[in-house]
Structure 1
């Protein structure tokens, strides 16, 4: 198949997926699948967004929870101040996340290795401390959110959020796929393999890292924006929970970062497992299962699920079989 055929097949699959999601909201009456599905789709968006910087560029980001929390509180502040609709909240969160990514990139992307990772952890602590002292959004005590009336054709807000998160996941995947197949992706791969050599051959490494950081930040913040409406509550300890960083990293690594579909597979596998465990056993064992699966894949399949599938399906790093 040529490049055009692959593109057509991808967008056809996207259209089928969104139609199926929309149809599901009109047919299924039990709301639990939408609660669980929202979380899995959120994980897909987070894992794919993390992979743009952590996988393509090789800069391990432990600050996913910082961008996620910024998305949550951008939406909360905007809704409380103006009553803005959800679409506007998401767009504003993406802009704020992109701006934050640009600022963080300028300050930290000249650092390498563990120093960059430590800086992203510090970022989350600083922003969480600021939000804890911001009384307008409830401070450390948190804030209750009153959902506005649901929009047609949905009959419940949870179903609408499920569809919205599906769209956000599709956008994240489409952007990651485009970057991987573009000159940006090839440049990020070069700097990941050997940054000094890439600089010597004329690759604009700092510019590419800024693009990756801004794109990743925008997508993570956008994915976090609907969370307050989903829970009808927001507080700093949950919005900036370190589990978002751990989950995004683990799902991307378990799925494999060499191909855009890797984080999707990792998020579906781990997200579905965690939701099943939360119903059958306890949500407390989720972290244990996450750790065990991460160790097993790091030891037994360091290239993730994609590494296991590649010999059979001839998946290339360029995003095409």
Structure 2
């Protein structure tokens, strides 16, 4: 309980510090660089839930990230959805993909699972490159939303990414310290032994792929 409270307090302190930093008048490029760094923090944390805790090397990370991004592009093109809706929708769609792909591939182990996730990235890349609605191989330029709640658009995105990074690290920390994390560690060390001891390995792997996909989609 104390550790959980400490993590929450540290997270709140980081968010507060991020808001203070965003209010400073410095070179906008520094905010952009910070945004990109924090984005990679979310991506690395999401990958670690499945690859680090569970021991399943996932080469499909770009697919989940891209799906979150292109879900946002689709919603902007169709209904001009606001940023919170874009973030939630991207995360939800990627989480559903993680659940579906996990159910189909997590009975594979070792290098066979990794090859399957690599195939996912190639398939999704081919689909996007041939989808003219989102620009295909040329990509698509999206108009920047006007009037962020505070500061410039770059500082606003930096603040949002600070919040997302704190949420991702907090979720990963909670999983690591819970029975879920212990179960993932058990199947990482020896999956057969974990199954013999009653660890619900398939459900844990589905949970890990879903949460990992959710965070990757949010980052996208």
What TM-score results when the alignment is normalised by the length of structure 2?
0.97
Q: List gaps (5 residues or longer) in structure 2.
A: none
> For residues 122-179 of structure 1, what are the alpha-carbon distances to aligned partners after superposition, in whole Å with 9 as ceiling and x for unaligned?
000101111111111111111111101132222x111111111111111111110111
Q: Distance in 2 between matches of 1:131 and 1:179?
A: 33
Q: C-alpha root-mean-square deviation of aligned residues, in Å?
A: 0.9
The structure 2 residue matched to 1:49, chosen from 46, 51, 62, is 46
* Deviation digits for residues 25-84 of structure 1 (CA, Å, limit 9, x no counterpart): 111331011011011101110111100000000000111101011011000001111000
TM-score normalized by the length of structure 1: 0.67
- Residue by residue over 1:73-130, the C-alpha shift from the partner in whole angstroms, topping out at 9 and shown as x without a partner, is 0000011110001110010011101100011101110001111111111000101111
Partner of 1:143: 140
Q: Is the 8 A contact 1:101 1:217 kept in 2?
A: yes
2:149 is equivalent to residue 152 of structure 1 = yes
Alignment map for 1:201-212 (pairs within 5 Å): 201-212=197-208
Which residue in 1 is equivalent to 2:92?
95
Q: Which residue of 1 aligns with 2:181?
A: 185
Instruction: Give the aligned length.
Output: 220
What corresponds to 1:62 in structure 2?
59
Mapping for residues 151-300 of structure 1, pairs under 5 Å: 151-154=148-151, 156-224=152-220
Runs of 4 or more above 4 Å deviation: none
Report which structure shows greater RCO (CA 8 Å, sep ≥6): 2
Distance in 2 (CA, whole Å) between partners of 1:5 and 1:60 is 32
